[in-house]
Amino acid sequence: MPSDPAGAKPSGVLTRLAPDFFDDHLGCGGFRQPNGPATGFVNYTAVSLFNNANSGVVFKVYGVECCGDVTSSSEVYMISGTLGTLVQGCAPTRPDLGAPYGQIYQATTVEPDTIHPNPYVFPPLLAVLGSGYPGQTHWWGFPRFIVPVGYSLVVVNSQSDDAIGASFVFQQANE
């Protein structure tokens, strides 16, 4: 039993995930494409987290959630600039602190079933994350992706899905 149940003055070794120490600067945001294409078409969607901060602020991404209607995976890329249409600004984990930097963009392409090139593949590939229905949450105890100012972290469905989406949890950090 710890001598300090509140944790204000811990004795011994304390193990906590890194974002817990910086929770005042955490932001989150995401998008889900709910409507699938008509029969005979394929649907590719990209959801991206864009760092619209002033110079010197990076996003340290600790968590990504991916979902899709079929058992597949999601691919993660980093690009300079934005991709698609602005959906919303990111939200803070503490609403009393105001909105963090960060914007969510999305792009969707519906192609005939005979054409399967994914238009949102931007080498080099950074990661392949599990998705599928109802989704998978990927959480790391360290910043898995670091998004500089003016860049976007892009999550793309690796095969055609009726509905796909992604959400991000990140820390704003001065570098």
pTM of the entire predicted model: 0.81
pLDDT of 137 reads 77
For residue 146, what pLDDT is reported?
Answer: 95
Cα angle 66, 97, 166 (rounded to 5 degrees) comes to 10
118 - beta bridge partners?
Answer: none
Residue 59 CA to residue 149 CA, distance in Å, equals 8
118-147: average pLDDT: 82
State the Cα–Cα distance between residues 38 and 32, nearest whole angstrom. Answer: 18
Amino acid sitting at position 47: V
| 3 state DSSP class of 141 | coil
Give the list of residues 6+ apart from residue 1 with CB closer than 8 angstroms, or none. none
The answer to whether residues 108 and 44 touch, using CB atoms and an 8 Å cutoff, is: yes
Q: What is the per-residue pLDDT across 84-106, written as a single tens digit (0 to 9) for each?
A: 999 999 998 878 878 889 999 99
> What pLDDT score was predicted for residue 1?
45
pLDDT number for residue 68: 73
Q: What is the pLDDT of residue 83?
A: 94
